[in-house]
Every structure is written in structure tokens, then in C-alpha cells.
Chain A
Amino acid sequence: MYGDPRRSLRITRSAQVIALIAIGSWFSITIPFLPVPFTLQTLFVLLAGALLKRYAVLPVGLYILLGTLGLPLFHHGLAGPGILLGPTGGYIAGFLGAAAVVGIAYEQTSPLLRGAGMTCGALLILAAGSLWLMASSPGLTLAGAFVIGFLPFLPGDILKAAAAYTIAGRLA
């Protein structure tokens, strides 16, 4: 009677994750003097890893692809490869790695590993983002990129990782 319900569940769940990340990206707060806005994308990317385990890379990759193809999915409802090449592109590319790390961590059952995976995922996004920020704006040093691309978002992202961990725990 059943075909492969896991496959169709995977499809719908991935679609849900894409939609959630898109909703989260519209919730963007621009902080004055910083080229990077504060968004909820990170939270949902981390949550995607918790929900879909190792398949989390699929929806996040598709999200980036669709955003690049021109659906207004990125922060502030923007889209296009211009965003990926712009100052915030590294963060968006970092989502992919973060989803993979969190997904692999959530294959395990130990809460310690899961928490560590969340933290690593959040830090990975920030690290990738600041590195690309340095590469894309000429003259910006590593320390400078660290100060404007990493430090201001650290408290928020730790908070988001903690929130994702709690929400994932409550959903399970």
C-alpha cells in the first residue's frame, strides 16, 4: 500500500524548511554601520539540521539555488547571484556547511554532541561569512572583518543556537 513514505515526507519537510528559512530571512534587522543584517535565517538553518538530520543539506542547498535563481528568499526579500557575490554571500554559503554539521551531529543521540553540533554550526556560518567579507571588500584585514562580521553577531548567534537546540528538543 505504501510506496516510500519516507521519501515523500522528506520532500514535504524540505519544502517546509525552505519556507521557514525564507520567512526567517524577511525578519531582518539592519544594524547601522554594519553591512550584514541580523536575521532569523540562522535559527531555521540550524533547526533544519535538527529536523532533517543528514538530509538537511538538500533544502538549504535548494534554498540557496532558488535564491540565486531569483526568488526573493534572501534577507530583506532580496534575490539573485548579486547577493552571493555581495558582502553577505559568505554567510549564506556558510548555511550549507552549518546544516551539514548540525545534521551529522543530530544523527547521534547524545545531547552533548547535539549541543556541540549546534554551536559549531553557528560559528561556522559566522566564520565563513567574515572570511568572505574580507575577500569581497578590498582592503579589509582579517582583524577588521572579524570585528565587523563576527563579534557583533556572536551573542545573537549563540542565542539562536540555544533557541534552536531548545525548540528541537521540544519537537522531538
Chain B
Amino acid sequence: MSEIMSYVPAESFLHRLPVLLKIAAIVGVVAASVLTHSVAVLGAMVLLIGIAAGAAGLHRDLVRQIPLLLFLGVALLLLTVVTMQSGETLFHLIPYGIVSSAGAIPVTSGAVNFAAVLSLRFFAMLFVFQLLIMSTRPTELTNALMTLRMPIDYVLMFVIALRFIPSLQLEGQRIHEAQLARGYNPGKGMLGKIRSLRPLLVPLVSNSLSKTRVLGLTIDMRGYRTRVR
């Protein structure tokens, strides 16, 4: 959350791999995780990714993601348990005799299995992408995209957007603090969080609009043209 595109400079075997190979590996992992429905295969894949991350010394950032992922996994589990009934009933969420004599909301093995597959699939994809981002310099990534024949306009958009995100985040913080310094009190909790947005959005958007105007004109003045063939 604090840093986007958090490239971690280091010397590891993951950093030295060619970018195109890494992209190909990711496509492989994604395809495999979408196609398989077995918990064991997915679990092994997550484990392998974890081992690769550990060997490259990048495991710390992956570990940081785990609480959020666990939370998502539990949410998925709840959703599937409530909405899906297949396989044998393991136990009831609301035990016997409270609502009805037979218990309510049965937890079935099919639902648990399905939720496990979904969450593991999710883990594998997220981890593998994160490893790519952490072990690849942004310029290398852009060059790889250019070799894959992405149009130059879109690659430029991508690079500028990447540059914009942290500065926009900083600017938002600055405007927020400026409003607080003027005595604005948004209050606490979720409502306060929502309310604090109101004096923030217009300056943020209009500031960044003028900044993009300057940047666009600068790009043009420095000779950004369609290539004449």
C-alpha cells in the first residue's frame, strides 16, 4: 500500500532471469491455476512460488500480504458456504436446537473445497505477479512490453501513469493536511474518512489536470510525433 511498483533492487536469480521468460512463466502459472481444480496442485504451486521467493530473498513482502489474503479467503469461504450446497454435510454453522431442531446453514464439503480452490488460485496469481514486479526494473518491463509490440502511445501512458501514482498520493496527503491546518475537522471513524474526501477531491483533480496539461504540451514541444514511414 505504501509503495506501488515496489521494485526491490537486489542481486538474485529472479532478478537475473530475462523479463520475457518471467512473463512467460506467469502466463503458465495463470493458465495452470485457472485450469486445475485440485487443491493439491494449487497448494504445491503456491508452495513452489513461496520457495522461489524465499530463495531470492523477497519473501518478506509476500508475507506482508498474508493477513489480507487470509481475510479474503475467509470471506470467500463464508460466501460459498452460504450459497453452495454439495457433497456431504460436515457440520452446521448454527448448531442444533437454536433456530431449528436440525441446525441451520449446513457447511458442506463441496463448498469448503470450492472455497479452498478459489483462494489458492488467488494466492498463486497474486504472488507470482508480485514477484515479477519486485524483481523487474520498470524500464526493463517497459522494454519487454515494447518487444511484445505494444503500441508506443500505450507504453508511454503506462510509464507516465506509473510516475503519477506516487506523486498524486503525496499531493492528496498534502492537501488533506492543508485542510486540517485550516481547522477542518472531518471527525473520526468511517464517516470521517468519507467526509474528509469532500474538500480534497476538487483540488486534487484540478491540480493534476493542470499538471497533465503542462506535461502534454512539453511532450509535444520536445518532438513527440507519429513516426513518418
Determine if B205 is an interface residue (Cβ-Cβ < 8 Å). yes
B binding-site residues for A, Cβ under 8 Å: 1, 4-5, 26, 30, 34, 68, 71, 75-76, 78-80, 83-85, 114, 118, 121-122, 125-126, 129-130, 132-133, 153-154, 156-165, 168-169, 172, 190, 193-194, 197, 201-202, 205-206, 208-209, 211-213, 215-217, 219-220, 223-226
A137 touches B84 (CB 8 A): yes
Question: Interface residues of B: mostly helix, strand, loop or mixed?
Answer: helix
**A108-165 residues at the B interface, CB under 8 angstroms:** 137-140, 144, 163
B contact residues around A9 at 8 Å (CB): 212-213, 216-217, 220
A137 touches B197 (CB 8 A): no
A171 touches B206 (CB 8 A): yes
B contact residues around A19 at 8 Å (CB): 161, 164-165, 168, 208
Residue of A nearest to B166 (CB): A19
Distance to closest chain A CB from B166 (angstroms): 9
A167 touches B130 (CB 8 A): no
Find A12's partner among B118, B130, B215 (CB 8 Å cutoff): B215
Known: A4-B220, A20-B205. A66 touches B126 (CB 8 A): no
Question: In the docked arrangement, what's the CA distance between A105 and B163, Å?
Answer: 30
- Beyond the given pairs A12-B216, A19-B164, 11 more chain A to chain B contacts, judged by CB atoms under 8 angstroms and listed by A's residue number, are A9-B217, A12-B213, A14-B157, A20-B168, A22-B165, A58-B157, A70-B130, A71-B133, A77-B1, A137-B79, A163-B201
Question: In the docked arrangement, what's the CA distance between A3 and B221, Å?
Answer: 8
B contact residues around A140 at 8 Å (CB): 83
Known: A8-B217, A80-B129. A29 touches B201 (CB 8 A): no
A71 touches B68 (CB 8 A): no
Question: In the docked arrangement, what's the CA distance between A69 and B128, Å?
Answer: 11
Question: In the docked arrangement, what's the CA distance between A16 and B211, Å?
Answer: 9
